[in-house]
Structure 1
Amino acid sequence: MAKIGYIGLGNMGMPMAHNLLKAGYDVYGLNRSKQKEERFKQMGGNVGFSLPELVKQVDVVMTCLPLPEDVEEVILGEDGVLTHIMANQLVIDFSTVSPSLHEKIEMEAEKKRVYYVDAPVSGGTTGAEAGTLSIMVGGKAEAFEKAKPYFDVVGKNITHCGSIGMGTKVKLINNYMVGLHTIAVSEGLHLAEKAGLDRKLVYDVLTNGFAQSKIFDRHYREFIAKDIDTPGFALNLLLKDLHLADDLAKEVKATLPIATPMIEMFEKANENHYGEKDMSSLYHYVNN
C-alpha cells in the first residue's frame, strides 16, 4: 500500500485522513496545531515530522487547507512540497482555492514530472466522516487515474471535470448556490417567525414541496433546530469561497447580479461575530 502524507488535519482533513487509515494506508499527518496531530496519532497515524521529512517518506501528498495562501505556501513555498518531492509522485489538493492557483501549481509540478490534481470536495463533515463526499476533480487524465483509488476511499460521487482548475470551477459554482440557498433558508424562516408561524411547522411543510433543498434540510435539522455553534462548515470559509466565485465571474465576464448583495450580507454576518460559527448561523444574523 502506498504511503500517504496528509497536510491539514482540520474539520474535513481529519476524518478524510482517518478513512485512509481505516482502508489500510500508512498515513503521515501534518498540521499547524500539534493537538490535532496528537489526536491523529491516537487514531493510528504517523506524526511528528516537518514538511520536508514528511514529503520524503511518502508516495502521495494530499493537502486540505483553509485559504489559498496556505496552499500556495505549503506546495510552492521555498521549503514546500514541490521543493522536496520526487518525480512520478502524486499531489492531490482537496482545498477550495482559485483555478488560477491550480494552473500555477500544475505548471511547477510538470517541471518536476509530478502528477497534480485539484479535487475540492462537497458534503461537509458528515460526508467526510462517512466517506461519501462529492469530489470534483481537475487535471490530466493520467493524474486522475492515479488518484482515483484514494478518491474511492474518501468519496462516493467522483467526477473528472476536465483539465486543471475545472474541478474547482464546479466547486465554486456549488458554493455560490450554497450561499444563495443559505440566504433563502435564513430569510424564509425569519419571515415565518415574524408572521407568527412555528418554524418547525414551516420546515415540515416546505421540505415536502418545491422549497425543499439539501441545504434547507442540513441547516434546519443539524443546526437551527439544535442551536449548535460548532461549525460543520464555518461561515467565514463560505464567504471566502463566495469571493472566489465572484472573482471567477469577473474573469470570465459572467454577470451575477445577486453576487454583490449576497457577499455583503455574509460580510456583515462575519463582522457581527458569526464567522467562526457554522454557515447556517446566517439565520441567527438575519433573525437578530
Structure 2
Amino acid sequence: MKLAFIGLGNMGFPMSCNLVKAGYTVYGVNRSEPKELQFQKQGGHIGKSLKELAQEADVIMTCLPLPADVEKVLLGEEGIIPNGKENLIIIDFSTVSPNLNKKIYAAAKEKNMAFLDAPISGGTTGAEAGTLSIMVGGDKEIYDKVLPIFEILGKNVYHIGESGSGSSIKLLNQYMVSAHTQAVSEAFVLAEKAGIDLSLLYEILNVSYAQSKIMERHYINNISKDDFTPGFELGLLHKDISLVNEMASSFDVTLPLGQKVTELISEALEAGLSKDDMSAMIKLMREKAK
C-alpha cells in the first residue's frame, strides 16, 4: 500500500515517520523543502506533485494548520480530489469545521473516492510516541480498512459516526483546552502575586481535583522553564476556539466562557504572542496583573 502524507509540520512529521518505521512506503509533501529533505533522511520518499500522488497513492493523509489550507489541497484546481483516481482514500488529521468535512466528503463521494475526518489530540509528544487520540468521522467500512494505519499513529482510536462527527468532538476538546489554558494562566499568576512557590503549587494541584493534562503540559514544558517555544501555537488555538464558536452558533448554543476566552486569546495575538506556545497566555495575564 502506497501512502502519501501532506503537511510535515510539528505533528505531521513524526506521524509520517512512524508510518515509515512501520514499513509503509510513504511520500511526504511540505511547503518548505528542508522538512521534505529531513523526511527523506528518515526513509520517506519525496519529489511527487499533488496530482501525481492523487493518481498513484492508495491513501493520502493531510495534517495542515488552517481550514483554507485543507480546502486548497483537497478541493483546489491542482488538488487531490479534482485529480484523484477512483477508490482513493483521503484522511484529514487537521482541525477544521464539521461543515468543511461534509463538503469534502460529498466532493470525494462524487468522484468515487472516500474521505475520513480524523482530527488528533495528544500534542507532539503523542505524535512522536504513536499514542495520539484519533476521532474519526466517515463511513465505517473505510475506517475499518485503514484502521491498521490509525493504530500505528494513535493509542486511542474512535469511530464516531458520519462525516464531520470526528471534528465535532475535536472542537469540544479544543474548547476545554482553551478554558483550561486560561484557568492555569490566571491561577499561576495569582499564585505569583500571593508569593506562592509555583513548583509547590503544581505539586499540590497535580494531586487534587484541579489536576489536568493541560496544567501538567503547560507547567512542565513551558511555565517552569520560562520557555514558550511552540508545541502548539497560540494562533492555532485562536483558530480552533473560533471554530468552536462557529459550531455553537450553528446550533443556537451560547458559550459565555468560550466567548470570553476568545476575546482574551485575541488580545494575546494583538500583543504579539501568536507564534508562542498556547501556554504563553500566562504572559498576557502577567501583564494584566502589573
TM-score by length of 2: 0.97
Deviations 1:164-204 (A, max 9, x none): 00000000000000000000100000000001111111111
Deviations 1:238-265 (A, max 9, x none): 1100000000000011121112111010
> Does the 8 Å CA contact 1:117/1:137 hold for their aligned counterparts?
yes
1:130 partner amino acid:
A
Give % identity.
52
- Alignment pair present for 1:108 and 2:91: no
- Alignment pair present for 1:224 and 2:223: yes
Matches within 5 A, 1:20-99: 20-99=19-98
Aligned residue number for residue 127 of structure 1? 126
Tell me the number of residue pairs that the alignment of Structure 1 and Structure 2 aligns. 287
SS at match of 1:231: coil
1:221 partner amino acid:
I
> Does the 8 Å CA contact 1:134/1:157 hold for their aligned counterparts?
yes
Q: Give 1:156 deviation, angstroms.
A: 0.6
Greater Cα offset, 44-53 or 113-122:
44-53
- Alignment pair present for 1:137 and 2:119: no
SS at match of 2:60: strand
SS at match of 2:192: helix
Greater Cα offset, 38-47 or 120-129:
38-47
Q: Give 1:98 deviation, angstroms.
A: 0.6
RMSD: 0.8
2:110 partner amino acid:
K
2:133 partner amino acid:
S
Aligned residue number for residue 262 of structure 1? 261
Q: Give 1:55 deviation, angstroms.
A: 2.2
Q: Which runs of at least 4 in structure 1 moved beyond 4 Å after TM superposition?
A: none
Task: Give distance in 2, aligned partners of 1:222 and 1:281.
Answer: 11
> Does the 8 Å CA contact 1:11/1:232 hold for their aligned counterparts?
yes
1:282 partner amino acid:
M
Task: Give distance in 2, aligned partners of 1:82 and 1:38.
Answer: 26
Aligned residue number for residue 181 of structure 1? 180
Deviations 1:37-75 (A, max 9, x none): 111111111112221122222111000000000000000
Deviations 1:117-148 (A, max 9, x none): 00000000000000000000000111211221
2:111 partner amino acid:
K
1:222 partner amino acid:
N
2:278 partner amino acid:
M
Q: Give 1:274 deviation, angstroms.
A: 1.1
1:7 partner amino acid:
I
Task: Give distance in 2, aligned partners of 1:75 and 1:92.
Answer: 10
Task: Give distance in 1, aligned partners of 2:261 and 2:228.
Answer: 22
What residue ranges of structure 1 are gaps of 5+ in the alignment?
none
Aligned residue number for residue 19 of structure 1? 18
Task: Give distance in 2, aligned partners of 1:11 and 1:146.
Answer: 27
- Alignment pair present for 1:277 and 2:285: no
SS at match of 2:225: coil
SS at match of 2:256: coil
Task: Give distance in 1, aligned partners of 2:145 and 2:270.
Answer: 43
2:68 partner amino acid:
E
> Does the 8 Å CA contact 1:235/1:281 hold for their aligned counterparts?
yes
1:150 partner amino acid:
I
What residue ranges of structure 2 are gaps of 5+ in the alignment?
none
Task: Give distance in 1, aligned partners of 2:286 and 2:198.
Answer: 12
Q: Give 1:155 deviation, angstroms.
A: 0.4
Task: Give distance in 1, aligned partners of 2:145 and 2:85.
Answer: 16
Aligned residue number for residue 211 of structure 1? 210
Task: Give distance in 1, aligned partners of 2:283 and 2:219.
Answer: 12
> Does the 8 Å CA contact 1:92/1:147 hold for their aligned counterparts?
no
Task: Give distance in 2, aligned partners of 1:233 and 1:61.
Answer: 24
